[in-house]
Amino acid sequence: MQNLQGIIRRSTNNVTNQWERLGYIANDLANTNTIGYKGIRFEQMLQADGYLTGAVRTNYEQGSIRVTSNPFDVAIDGAGFIPVFSKNGEVAYTRDGSFKQGKDGYLMTNDDWIVGNGIKIPSNCYKFQIKPNGDVVAYDAKDAPPKKIGNIPLVRFDCPEGLEQTDMNKLTPTDESGEAMLVKNHTCFKQNNLENSNVDMFATVGDMLRMNASMLASTRMMKVVDDMYNKGINIRE
């Protein structure tokens, strides 16, 4: 009877573990079109006692980069994040470079977080450019010399897997991730481009189908063992 109880406990634990993994898979599928989104790896290990354990890891592999022809769009080609600030002074980090010009002229995220330390684009400028190193320059006229109006910072973390996702494509540091470190002398920014999600939709759907089959098998096993356990109790009575 104790062996049957142990099988039931392990099966229950394993199904719970699989449900958790399925949740991450569903979240990845929902974000296949989210700019700069990084997929989640849920690594499972079967222990000697039959229990499944899992660890969540973010996949920070580079997503493909596509041209948008929108001067407010900027992709990060390489490792790193862009710091953004809320109106309340909160700081977060993102790889979603689909920016816009806010009402006050500042470069902002689509949900109105200020990019970097505040880069105000003159309303009457002929055009502006975001250089690969993050420098933002504006031109007063077609043949006018460029004027630097700010810089988009790029930061990195010792352990980006330790960052905590707070809202869609915004991340905040933790003790595990360490503090943000400013990257100097880089050429990672590409204006008029955006980084796609790095989620492989077909591979993720395959993972989901395999997980559903595994959960169904585990659930059936629990039902068989539970029936055996109940019959054993009835015989003893």
Q: How far apart are CA 187 and CA 130, in angstroms?
A: 11
Specify the pLDDT at position 1: 47
Calculate Rg over the CA atoms of the chain: 25
Specify the pLDDT at position 227: 63
User: Are residues 82 and 167 both part of a single domain?
Assistant: yes
Q: Which of 195, 211, 228 is the last residue of a domain?
A: 195
Strands 114-115 and 82-85: antiparallel
Q: How far apart are CA 185 and CA 61, in angstroms?
A: 22
Tokens of 78: 């390489």
User: Are residues 156 and 99 both part of a single domain?
Assistant: yes
Q: How far apart are CA 69 and CA 54, in angstroms?
A: 42
For 94-104, the pLDDT digits (tens) are: 999 999 999 89
Specify the pLDDT at position 199: 87
**Residue matched to tokens 């953004």:** 84
Specify the pLDDT at position 2: 44
Specify the pLDDT at position 210: 72
User: Are residues 135 and 102 both part of a single domain?
Assistant: yes
Q: Which domain holds residue 35?
A: 2-60+199-236
User: Are residues 180 and 94 both part of a single domain?
Assistant: yes
User: Are residues 213 and 185 both part of a single domain?
Assistant: no
Specify the pLDDT at position 44: 59
User: Are residues 51 and 129 both part of a single domain?
Assistant: no
Specify the pLDDT at position 105: 93
User: Are residues 136 and 88 both part of a single domain?
Assistant: yes
User: Are residues 90 and 156 both part of a single domain?
Assistant: yes
Q: List per-block mean pLDDT (blocks of 10 residues) for the chain, which spans 237 residues.
A: 54 65 79 85 60 70 93 96 94 96 93 95 91 96 92 96 85 94 96 92 71 66 60 54
Nearest to 117 by CA among 182, 167, 177: 182
Quote the distance between the C-alpha of residue 104 and its chain's center: 29
User: Are residues 146 and 49 both part of a single domain?
Assistant: no
Q: SS3 of 5, please?
A: helix
**Residue matched to tokens 């769009």:** 73
Q: How far apart are CA 40 and CA 230, in angstroms?
A: 40
User: Are residues 222 and 161 both part of a single domain?
Assistant: no
Are the CB atoms for 34 and 197 separated by under 8 Å?
A: yes
Q: SS3 of 182, please?
A: strand
Specify the pLDDT at position 40: 78
Secondary structure letter of residue 124 according to DSSP: T
Indicate the pTM of the whole model: 0.76
User: Are residues 89 and 187 both part of a single domain?
Assistant: yes
For 208-225, the pLDDT digits (tens) are: 677 666 667 666 666 655
User: Are residues 188 and 204 both part of a single domain?
Assistant: no
Number of domain units in the chain: 2
Burial 175-184 (b: 16+ CB within 10 A, else e): eebeebeebe
